[in-house]
Chain A
Amino acid sequence: MPVRQFGALQLEVDNEGYLVNPKDWTPEVAEAFAKEEGIELTDRHWEVINFVRKYYEERGQSPTIRQITVGAGIPTKELFKLFPGGPAKKVARIAGVPKPAGCI
């Protein structure tokens, strides 16, 4: 597995750049990943990130778009503005949880 440097931290990431171990995550990791996605994190982004981390801790699964919008009370339109492209997979990476499996 590739290793990435975050300040003094060295963390394992997978081939798509997701943290291998969600427990490794720190807010600095979020800042670094967000920057790579061209996203400047605001309070509203943090609301979503914290929701996603909590969801993962409780259920062991990364949430889908619908689970984020319903669970965190964020309109879908806004979620797409906050995390353009694919909000569920982008916020998962920034929040240090696995890429959503996508329902099969």
Chain B
Amino acid sequence: MAKTLLVLGGGTAGTMAANRLAQELDMDQWRIIVVDHSKIHYYQPGFLFIPFGIYKERDVVKPRRTYFAPGVEFILSEIDVIEPDKKRVRIKADGGRYISYDFLIIATGTSPRPDQTPGLQDERLWYKDAFDFYTLQGAVRLARRLRTWEGGRLVLNIVDMPIKCPVAPLEFIFLADWYLRENGLRDKTELVFVTPLPGAFTKPRAAAILGHMLEERGIHLVTDYYIERVDPERKVIVSYDEREEPFDLLVSIPLNMGSDAIARSGIGNELNYVPTDPRTLRAKDFEDVFVLGDATDVPTSKAGSVAHFMVDSFVPNFLRYIDGLELLPTFDGHANCYIESGFGKGILIDFNYDVEPLPGKFPLPGLGPFSLLQESVINHWGKMLFRTLYWHVLMKGRRLPMPAQMMMAGKWS
């Protein structure tokens, strides 16, 4: 009888994993089923460019169905409950039914939860003077607001870590600086970056360099700031230790949480992330369950690039596992991020569980080299090019010409 591989979530990680395995497995012997509740596949990194009019909505959305390889079955449904002990998942479609599996991949990602910060979604504020850009709708509404911006105090606040794409808030503020200069509004605008971290970024070396870049651009940095609530009446944010930051425009990175389906199933931590072995990506508590992408609790960035490196090390491991071989500890936490720094430039950071972001050049055969941690124009094009790679290479289950483990070649330590 055919075996069933069930993939929960058809976003970056789920789509890549399903399509890659559809090429590797004998599809006479296997069924691959993907469940997702949304018809649209969003290119989330593109949301960053929407507020500044660089991308439009149509640049970042595609019908999800068209991205699955032949042989992959897609079910449009909310995932209700995962029952690993019974090796089945209940979905909400068709009045609620069960899908049994032999192997399960959880790739349900993480999403912004503005409802978790009191006052943020107050009707006097939300999508009027307070926005997120981690959703398409937020990014589009913010673009509209920025077109009528005449100056004032623009506060960007990160509610708590971890967030997906931890550098996106910095990129936003760099792009805002550039955009306001281009539009003659920079000297009328105070830019403030308010973070729960002790510096601009966590990893000390990157934090120092990025902190310097904020300073160079006259962007104020407020650290160790843990927001309690938004006061919509007075337009201030208030921290747990009662520090207030007034704003005319608030750009919030709301609390990010894993899927409610994880909470309903009782298999997640306090933020609905599934405890996962950091090297093999198997769920710590369940055999035959793997977790890929933002849904894990592993201590590396939540990012599309990480999802890609995870899938690269997961696929060969999974092929061993179904043949009864043990899993190899091949995932090293590799993350890399292009950081847009405005004025058509960008920087690239590259790190893993053990190695901090280092200055140097990132070798991408045939495409790079991109400078690590130094601004360059080619890094900016790397980021713009990535959208094309995303839709046409990664999501199609094709591979990028680089190994999943971090390469120390080209780095100065």
Contacts and interface: CB of A to CB of B under 8 A. Distances in A.
Given A66-B160, A70-B270, A80-B240, A103 B224 contact: no
A16 to B, nearest CB: 10
A101 B162 CA distance: 11
B299 A71 contact: no
A91 to B, nearest CB: 14
Contact of A102 (B197, B240, B300, B351): B197
A103 B240 CA distance: 20
Contacts of A71: 270
B203 interface: yes
A77 B228 contact: yes
B226 A85 contact: no
A1 interface: no
A104 B352 CA distance: 10
Nearest to A69: B270
B226 A65 contact: yes
Contacts of A79: 240
Interface residues of B, number: 21
Nearest to B160: A66
Contacts of B226: 65, 76, 80
A66 B301 contact: no
B162 A103 contact: yes
A64 B271 CA distance: 12
A100 to B, nearest CB: 10
B187 interface: no
Contacts of B160: 64-66
Contacts of A76: 226, 228, 240
B166 A104 contact: yes
Contacts of B203: 104
A89 B351 CA distance: 23
B241 interface: yes
Given A67-B270, A76-B226, A86-B224, A104 B198 contact: no
A22 interface: no
Contact of A86 (B198, B202, B228, B351): B198
Contacts of B198: 86, 89, 102
A36 B271 CA distance: 33
Interface in B213-243: 224, 226, 228, 240-241
B143 interface: no
Interface string B176-206: 0000000000000000000011100011000
Interface in A33-64: 61, 64
A101 B351 CA distance: 14
A84 B351 CA distance: 32
A6 B241 CA distance: 31
Interface string A76-104: 11011000111001000000000001111
A103 B241 CA distance: 21
B161 interface: yes
Given A103-B202, A104-B202, A104-B301, A85 B241 contact: yes
18 contacts: A64-B160, A64-B161, A65-B196, A65-B226, A67-B270, A70-B270, A71-B270, A76-B226, A77-B240, A86-B224, A101-B299, A102-B202, A103-B162, A104-B166, A104-B203, A104-B300, A104-B301, A104-B335
Interface of B: 160-162, 166, 196-198, 202-203, 224, 226, 228, 240-241, 270-271, 299-301, 335, 351
Interface of A: 61, 64-67, 70-71, 76-77, 79-80, 84-86, 89, 101-104
